[in-house]
Amino acid sequence: MGERPRTLLDKVWDAHLVSAETEETPGVLYIDLHLIHEVTSPQAFAELRRRGLPVRRPERTVATMDHAIPTRSGPSGRRVPPTGPAAEQVGALERNCADFGIPLFATGDARQGIVHVIGPELGLSRPGLTVVCGDSHTSTHGALGALAFGIGTSEVGHVLATQCLLQRKPKSFAVEFEGTPPAGVTAKDLILALIARIGTGGATGHALEYRGPAIRALSMEGRMTVCNMSIEAGARAGLVGPDDTTYNYLAGRELSPEGEAWDRAVERWQALPSEDGAFFDRVERIDTTTLEPMITWGTSPGMGMPIRGAVPEPDGDASHEKALAYMGLTPGKPLLGQKIDVVFIGSCTNSRMSDLRDAARVLQGRKVADGILALVVPGSEKVKKEAEAEGLDRVFREAGAEWREPGCSMCLAMNDDRLQPGQYAVSTSNRNFEGRQGQGGRTFLASPFTAAASAVKGAVADARELLS
């Protein structure tokens, strides 16, 4: 008998296993690419110094600044410098990278950007790699066929010191997105629909593999949006098997292989997709032909609903009752028309060129409603430059939105961009917990289409009305 068919997860895991796990101990997994930023790395470097340890493979670690940096420009047109704790974090990252020989894409560098945007766009993230970062949305890189997951600060130290990590292999979970989604339904709607169905703990202990014709039809950027929110479903990681879309995306990237090395890489990558008959511990099927644009109504990414639906009844669920009270919503009523204060288009979920083009398509020739603060924040310097070359920045500015410098911005209340208590925001980011975007702030997660339409209407809106 031949070998059993293997999944993409099996292949990447087996190729990086230094020491197999036992009932008593996790396995030792080799890490190909370690991405770091200014927030979760200082403590790890402090531990290396305390123990007198070097970075084991500094060439396999890459640093950027994204979480705490301001995205506003000053009178000179340049990004305003960070102050307070943010300045301390940025300064520490600069010192640590200099002392330990780690490449750093600091503000002002043409390669700077959100860590999960620059990894793929530079060609650092590739099929078959293991990728880690001290950030839960590292699953984004799984869109290229990598096994990518977030790690804690102590684990950041472990990888810096050993280039390995103690891990137990997650179970496999295939999600088949069947059919062709209707017009106006985007990658963000696919992943929000999945999380609404299985809940934020639905994939706990698993690595999700996204499959089916609706996934294959997505651009690489759309696949990144889907994989990005795997953690919001409770998963350890999210992956898409590499195909021609993957290879075409990576070809010619700044740090992608070239020449014969490229040919050998593609040959390896073509052997990675899950084989016919491979066993998955769990399978979920979603008929995308019936989906509508999605939006969240509560304080968890799993509290999602179709844009034209009604806020659900709590039915005795204490967490739903608490969410409704925090959000100030009445069950049984639609979200359409709910007044808002802020629109945020950005984050590692939706800040790439395709996302900005979607937003510009809605905002072209229209105005942001009076009293609405609309922020458009590109995911990287490269995205910013390309968007400006296409004139998207003019579309946003002429509509009345603010065009910002690259960074995480209002995704999380860790920098200058944050909601005020009681404000409502439609956001293209990934989390809507209490206080996530600012103390007392209330967040509706949605796609760039929905966010842009809501900016125009000054209330939660269905972009299909403006695009028809």
List, run by run, the mean pLDDT of 10-residue segments along the chain (468 residues).
88 98 96 96 96 97 96 90 94 97 97 98 98 97 98 96 98 98 98 98 98 98 98 98 98 97 98 98 98 98 98 95 97 97 98 98 98 98 98 98 97 92 98 95 98 98 94
Q: What is the pLDDT of residue 3?
A: 85
Number of domains in the chain: 3
Rounded CA-CA distance 444/451 in Å is 9
Q: Do 426 and 361 lie in a common domain?
A: yes
DSSP at 415: S
Identify whether the C-beta of residue 425 lies closer than 8 Å to the C-beta of residue 344.
yes
Please write the tens of the pLDDT for every residue from 292-351: 999 999 999 999 999 999 999 999 999 999 999 999 999 999 999 999 999 999 999 999
Assigned domain for 364 exists: yes
Q: Do 152 and 209 lie in a common domain?
A: no
What CATH number is associated with residue 39? Answer: 3.30.499.10
Assigned domain for 3 exists: no
> Residue 424 is part of which domain span?
294-467
- pTM, two decimals, is 0.97
Q: What is the pLDDT of residue 2?
A: 66
What CATH number is associated with residue 182? Answer: 3.40.1060.10
Q: Do 158 and 299 lie in a common domain?
A: no
> What element of type H or E holds 341?
none
Assigned domain for 1 exists: no
Identify whether the C-beta of residue 410 lies closer than 8 Å to the C-beta of residue 419.
yes
Q: What is the pLDDT of residue 77?
A: 83
Beta strand spans in 144-199 (E): 147-150, 164-167, 171-178
Identify whether the C-beta of residue 131 lies closer than 8 Å to the C-beta of residue 148.
yes
Pairing of β 304-306 and β 402-403: unpaired
Q: Do 137 and 175 lie in a common domain?
A: no
Q: Do 313 and 423 lie in a common domain?
A: yes
Assigned domain for 2 exists: no
